Amino acid sequence: MAVVKIRNLVKRFGKVVAVNDVSFDVADGEFFAMLGPSGCGKTTTLRCIAGLETPESGDILIDDVRVNETEPKDRDIAMVFQFYAMYPKMNVFNQIAFPLVARKVPKDEIASRVKEIAERLGITPILGEPVERLTVDQKQRIALARAIVRNPKVYLLDEPLTNLDAGLRIQMRAELKHLQNSMGTTTIFVTHDQLEAIALASKVLVMRDGHIMQVDAPESLYEKPKNLFVAGFVGSPSMNFIDCNYSEKNGTADIEAGEFMYDVTELKPYLGGLGGSHLVMGVRPEYVHLGRNKPAGPAFKGRVEVLEPLGDRLIVSLSIGKVSLKANIRPTDMELGETVWLSFDTKKILLFDKPAGKALL
């Protein structure tokens, strides 16, 4: 296990700044996820940590030792790639054992460690099989086993579940989390899938265009995003956003967007001096409440445009004039074209500064 510290990391490819002044810490034994869209710089950062890319500036520290100039093989790191590679003409046992053989580990220890890891990953029955007979998920397990068997200080996992189908991905996600919990090895996991990041990691870093947008616990990213990008990227269905004007009058406060108007007087203490500002209101679909009868407190009417049944949940798309919203509710007999009352849990409303996209609440 190890503590990983990244300080002011910069990596360029020609004129493109792939990683722009990135700094973060990964605690000893932590499962840390790097989340973001394709091309945001997360894999490049991981490759810099592994020593496969050389940064222009910044420091990479493992247990407070700077490793920028250390050869990849000497960093005591194991990496699993999105596109796993199998050695030809080797059976599964030898695939897993190869890194230990290369390090001249005694044969009896190799056998013991391979069997232990195979048991953990459920691949003991196929240890004698050639790779050409293996399924995609078996090959992914072997790639993980080959990294784990080394018992390194740090695991680097670059989208290892991406090539699996949905069912296997969910299964492997649970197994990967159980494995990391039992081993307690510092793990940095790269993914573009926010569900994977939230399900697996104790801390998540969100990247965009080479910059860190937020580093936080999954629940904080979801409930208290620091900017519009994180608010929209994390969560499914994604957060509702409404461009609106904020006004204060006679001790009350409202946000308005055409026919949409909502009383946010109870938020006024946090928004002093912003009267007349152009803001973006955000509210997650599960905090949009629907009903045929007008509720107590602020509410307005909306028209049901689309119904998406998802078993124990129903996604309802609604319109309030030119404003569109989604609600995530329990199944109901609501019908297309019906007019219903909408209300929000005001404490769950988020407001963002329109020009900068920074959270105000």
Question: Residue 32 forms beta bridges with which residues?
Answer: 188, 203
Average pLDDT rounded to a whole number, residues 115-128: 91
Query: Rounded to whole angstroms, how far apart are CA atoms 145 and 140?
Result: 9
| Residue 77, token pair as written in the block | 């790191």
Are 179 and 271 members of one domain?
no
Q: Which of 202, 207, 255, 210 is nearest to 229 (CA)?
A: 207
Give the pLDDT confidence score for residue 275 in this predicted structure: 66
Measured in degrees and rounded to the nearest 5, phi and psi for residue 285 equal -55, -30
Phi/psi at 32 (nearest 5 deg)?
-115, 125
pLDDT confidence of 297, banded at 50, 70, 90? confident
Place of tokens 């798309």: 317
* Per-residue pLDDT tens over the stretch 49-105: 999 999 999 999 999 999 999 999 999 999 988 777 888 889 999 999 999 999 899
Measured distance CA(101)–CA(60) in Å, rounded: 29
Q: Which two tokens stand for residue 224?
A: 């208290």
159 and 60 in one domain? yes
Between 151 and 291, the higher pLDDT residue: 291
Last residue of a domain, one of 199, 233, 267: 233
Question: Domain boundary at 233, 264, 294, which?
Answer: 233
What are the pLDDT digits (tens) for 5-59? 999 999 999 999 999 999 999 999 999 999 999 999 999 999 999 999 999 999 9
Three-state secondary structure readout of the chain: CCCEEEEEEEEEECCEEEEEEEEEEECCCCEEEEECCCCCCHHHHHHHHHCCCCCCEEEEEECCEECCCCCHHHCCEEEECCCCCCCCCCEHHHHHHHHHHHCCCCHHHHHHHHHHHHHHHCCHHHCCCEHHHCCHHHHHHHHHHHHHCCCCCEEEEECCCCCCCHHHHHHHHHHHHHHHHHHCCEEEEEECCHHHHHHHCCEEEEEECCEEEEEECHHHHHHCCCEHHHHHHCCCCCCEEEEEEEEEECCEEEEEECCEEEECHHHHHHCCCCCCCEEEEEECHHHEEEECCCCCCCCEEEEEEEEEEECCEEEEEEEECCEEEEEEECCCCCCCCCEEEEEECHHHCEEEECCCCEECC
The mean pLDDT of 283-300, rounded to a whole number, is 93
Is 281 within 8 Å of 353 (Cβ atoms)? no
Q: How many domains does the chain have?
A: 2
Q: Which of 201, 161, 160, 155 is nearest to 177 (CA)?
A: 201
Average pLDDT on 114-124 reads 90
* CATH code, domain carrying 284: 2.40.50.140
Q: 297 or 294: which carries more pLDDT confidence?
A: 294
- Let me know whether 210 and 288 are in one domain: no
Which of left, alpha, beta for 337 (phi over 0: left; psi -120 to 50: alpha)?
Answer: left
Clarify whether residues 158 and 245 are in a common domain: no
Does 204 share its domain with 293?
no
pTM: 0.89
Q: Are residues 146 and 259 in the same domain?
A: no
User: Which pLDDT value is given to residue 68?
Assistant: 98
Give the structural domain span for 156: 4-233
On whether both 158 and 305 belong to a single domain, the answer is no
Which of 104, 148, 102, 97 minimizes the C-alpha distance to 127?
Answer: 97
Residues 181 and 207 in one domain: yes
Q: Is the CB of residue 189 less than 8 Å from the CB of residue 4?
A: no
Are residues 159 and 301 part of one domain?
no
User: Same domain, yes or no, for 95 and 124?
Assistant: yes
Domain boundary residue, one of 198, 233, 268: 233
Residues in the chain: 361
pLDDT tens string 302-352: 999 999 999 999 999 999 988 999 999 999 999 999 999 999 888 899 999
Q: Are 54 and 15 part of one and the same domain?
A: yes
pLDDT score of 276:
66
Model confidence at 122, in pLDDT bands (50, 70, 90)?
A: confident
Q: State the Cα–Cα distance between residues 230 and 204, nearest whole angstrom.
A: 11
Residues 65 and 185 in one domain: yes
- The CATH number that applies at residue 149 is 3.40.50.300
Closest by CA position to 159, among listed 214, 83, 47, 87? 83
Average pLDDT over residues 163-169: 78
pLDDT tens-place string over residues 200-258:
999 999 999 999 999 999 999 999 999 999 999 999 999 999 999 998 888 888 888 88
Quick check: 131 pLDDT over 90?
no
**pLDDT at position 293 over 90:** yes
Q: Which residue has the tokens 């990849």?
A: 72
Instruction: Judge contact between 303 and 318, C-beta under 8 A.
Output: yes
Neighbours of 211 (CB within 10 A): 16
